[in-house]
Amino acid sequence: MSNLRILVATKRVVDYAVKIRVNAAGSAVETANVKHSMNPFDEIGTEQAIQIKEALVKAKTGTAEVIVVSCGPAKSQETLRTALAMGADRAIHVESDEELQPLAVAKLLKAIVEKEKPDMVILGKQAIDDDSNQTGQMLAGLLNWPQATFASKVELGDKLMTVTREVDGGVETVKAPLPAILTTDLRLNVPRYASLPNIMKAKKKPLAKFTVADLGVDIKPRLQTLKIAEPPKRQGGKLVESVDDLVDKLKNEAKVL
């Protein structure tokens, strides 16, 4: 009988349907009055954990406890409730209004891992607001655990996971002993809708809160944003008459030669 404990990390980000813009002060992306939701790759992670649990229960070989965690301001609880409504068992909110960069999040997650002792930690490959693609890898480094990133398929064996990864050249299959880190890619699964009854049930599921101080972690940012600007407006293309014309334009107009 295998009883797994899976920790799923989630982040509340600007919703993917929103067209973002730089705020009036030019200091950051405008987030006031803007719709937020769970990072899509984290939805995939939550779905994967629940599917693992359902497969174990269906095969009668055990069960899994799915714990979902989020680090962020008070509103991150909405993200956690969504995950609970999808089928996670309990939630942990590490509350902070400070800027949390990937290294800080990895350290906070390490503290949670040391408390909860999960067999797997599942993260999204990257958050769609900063596209850092670092937290899972950094967490693996801090814990000295194996990592399988950009997962498009996962199979669990006895204390072992076999993961198909999406890499530049195609796909690659790796095996890693548990406990291990997994980060999700788009093709891993299609997250389920949270049904109304499950949303209701989610309100009663346990949600524990920690502060950064409770976990004793240094979250000081290591990176400073110097400038943020919208991409330059696309210029119209130009037709060239001959190769000489092209070389001339590349040299004198685009100035790349």
Partner 1 sequence: MSPTPFTEQYGQRESMEYDVVIVGGGPAGLTAAIHLKQLAQQKGTEISVCVLEKGSEIGAHIVSGAVMDPRALSELFADWKERGAPLETPVTEDRFLFLTSQRAYQVPNWMLPATFKNHGNYLISLANVVRWLGRQAEALGVEIFPGFAAAEILYGDDGAVKGVATGNLGIGRDGKPSEQFQLGMELHAKYTLFCEGARGHLGRQLQEKYQLNAHSDPQVYGLGIKELWEVPAAQHQPGLVIHTAGWPLEHTTYGGSFLYHMANQQIAIGLVVGLGYENPYLSPFEEFQRYKTHPAIRAFLAGGKRISYGARAIAAGGLMSLPQLAFPGGALAGCEAGFLNAARIKGSHAAIKSAMLLAVATFEAIANGRQADVLEDYPQAFKRSWLYQELHRARNFKQWMSKGLALGTVMTGLEHTLLGGRVPWTLHHRHADHTCLKPASHCKPIDYPKPDGKLTFDRLSSVFISNTHHAENQPAHLTLKDPTVPSNVNLPRYAGPEARYCPAAVYEFVIGSDGEQHLQINAQNCVHCKTCDIKDPTQNIVWITPEGGGGPNYPNM
Task: List residues binding partner 1 (CB under 8 A).
Answer: 15, 17-19, 21, 24, 32-35, 37, 190, 192-193, 195-197, 199-200
Instruction: Give the nearer residue to partner 1 in terms of CB position, either 18 or 178.
Output: 18
Contact 160, 176 (CB under 8 A): yes
Instruction: Give the nearer residue to partner 1 in terms of CB position, either 216 or 237.
Output: 237
Beta bridge partners of 64: 4
* Cβ neighbour number for residue 142 with a 10 Å cutoff: 15
**Shortest distance, CB of residue 169 to partner 1, whole angstroms?**
29
CA dihedral 110, 219, 18, 131 (to 10 degrees): -60
Instruction: Give the nearer residue to partner 1 in terms of CB position, either 201 or 251.
Output: 201
Instruction: Give the nearer residue to partner 1 in terms of CB position, either 135 or 189.
Output: 189
**Shortest distance, CB of residue 35 to partner 1, whole angstroms?**
5
CA dihedral 88, 73, 213, 86 (to 10 degrees): 0
**Shortest distance, CB of residue 158 to partner 1, whole angstroms?**
29
Contact 100, 72 (CB under 8 A): yes
Structure-block tokens of residue 117: 């002792």
Contact 4, 116 (CB under 8 A): no
Instruction: Give the nearer residue to partner 1 in terms of CB position, either 200 or 240.
Output: 200
**Shortest distance, CB of residue 68 to partner 1, whole angstroms?**
19
* Cβ neighbour number for residue 103 with a 10 Å cutoff: 21
**Shortest distance, CB of residue 51 to partner 1, whole angstroms?**
12
Beta bridge partners of 183: 123
* Cβ neighbour number for residue 41 with a 10 Å cutoff: 24
**Shortest distance, CB of residue 229 to partner 1, whole angstroms?**
14
Instruction: Give the nearer residue to partner 1 in terms of CB position, either 197 or 232.
Output: 197
Q: What is the CA radius of gyration of the chain?
A: 21
- With a CB cutoff of 8 Å and minimum separation 6, the contacts of 208 are 90, 91, 92, 93
